Structure 1
Amino acid sequence: MENGSKMKALFIIINAGYANEVVSLLREAGAKGATILNSRGEGVQHEYFMGITVDSEKELIVCVVEETTAEKAMIMMKERKGVQPHVRSVCFTMPIDTVVGLNMPFLNPADDKE
């Protein structure tokens, strides 16, 4: 288990279509990678098109990084992207107490064929 440096889970919720741009910025800040999840916003009023409710499509980007990398990434996003009404994003961090890397070969589907 790794307890040496302060780790943060960096969460970025952004309108769909901007994730690749944000991940590029995260890598520039020092992140090794990120996970992108498709999601749907429920906090705003729904828009309607021809009587049909149109959901607010979002992307959730999750990245586990050192505290200094998280701070750098958040500053870079704010400076480069600023407040853009069409992007509608939020970024926050949560502390991580312990990180464990898992290698689970028993989950490899190729092993089932033998």
Structure 2
Amino acid sequence: MTIRIAIGGLKKEVTERVTKEIGGDKVSVIVTSDFEAAKKIKSGQADYYFGACNSGGGAALSVPIGILGYGNCATVAKAGGKPKADDIEKLVSGGKIAFGMAVESIESAVPMLLHSLFKKHNLE
């Protein structure tokens, strides 16, 4: 199984690089706009969304919330905060599919997200 991750928001190239470095052959990455990414998830062409913005919860998730519903989306790292593996684990196991983070947290939040997703999908 390959987890299909759609990437949108700011610093997409950083999110893409970290996702590919950590995910290897366990992930396929689609870099696009947040609107197109959310549509791909809704239509079954992607499994998860990673997006970044300056705050971690505003622009990174506003479009996915509108398309996928608030209950499917979560901020994993706010500006000035640090992502927590336990919190991310709960969000992933709770069924969230779209994740927002502050641009400053991409390199720490994406590995935590991927490890939680690998655990959920038995890809460890």
TM-score between both structures, scaled by the size of structure 2: 0.26
- Computing the radius of gyration from Cα coordinates, the structure with the larger value is 1
Higher relative contact order structure (alpha carbons within 8 Å, sequence separation ≥ 6): 1
TM-score between both structures, scaled by the size of structure 1: 0.27
